Amino acid sequence: MEATLFYILAAVLLIGILLAITARQVVRSIVYLVTSFFALALMFYLLGAPLIAAFEVIIYAGAIMVLFLFVIMMLELESPEKLPHPHLKNWLPALLLAGAVVGSLVVLLCSRLQAVPPGFIEIPVRQFAFALFKQYGVAVEVVSMQLLFALVGALYLGRRR
């Protein structure tokens, strides 16, 4: 049952991303991406990470993608038909690179067919929080400094002169 749900969510995720990277307008691409990030959040929940699933919905779908939407609406881009759309010439190296990644994946899977035993261990939020604030306390401080620097940098870049 859960495995079936996982595969359905994986299909939704991959189709949503495929539609997002081939969309003609940026706003549509953002909406497709929000859909696929919701599917990704459910996959995180199935993998035993409820906190990361909640953060995925709140931070990614709720904040970062809405920030993208704000900027797109604010920029008043000219009509979307006039925006340059990649030709086949531009898609060719992209397909080549993606094909290289997928091909190496196939080679890797064919060479090592012995399967790891299935089954995932759920990690409770208590263990997560313990590791976060006891073991990686310095990293939390570093991340907070990094967010402060990003805030100052964004203010500097965005000021009117």
Partner 1 sequence: MSVPLSHVLIVASLMFAMGLGCVVAWRANVIMMLIGIEIMLNAVMLTFVGGSAHWGIADGQLFSLMLMALTSAEVSLALAMVVYLHRRKQTVDTDQFDSMKG
Interacting positions 127-156 with partner 1 (CB under 8 A) = 127-128, 130-132, 136, 139, 143, 146-147, 149-151, 153-154
Which of 63/81 has CB closer to partner 1?
63
By CB under 8 A, the residues from 20 to 79 that bind partner 1 are: 20-21, 26, 29-30, 33, 37, 40, 43-44, 46-49, 51-52, 55-56, 59-60, 63-64, 67-68, 71-72, 74-75, 77
Closest separation in Å from C-beta 79 to partner 1: 13
User: What do you get for the CA distance between the two ends of the chain, in Å?
Assistant: 59
- # residues near partner 1 by CB under 8 A: 78
Residues of the chain by 3-state class (helix, strand, coil), percent to 5 = 75, 0, 25
Residue 115 in the binding site for partner 1 (CB under 8 A): yes
Q: Which of 91, 107, 137, 141 binds partner 1 (CB under 8 A)?
A: 91
CA distance 125 to 104: 36
CA distance 155 to 141: 21
Residue 110 in the binding site for partner 1 (CB under 8 A): no
Q: Which of 8, 28, 73, 97 binds partner 1 (CB under 8 A)?
A: 97
Q: Are 47 and 9 in contact (CB under 8 A)?
A: no
Q: Which of 8, 73, 102, 107 binds partner 1 (CB under 8 A)?
A: 102
Residue spans of alpha helices (H) in the chain: 2-21, 26-46, 50-55, 65-75, 88-111, 125-130, 137-158
DSSP line for 20-39: HHT-SSHHHHHHHHHHHHHH
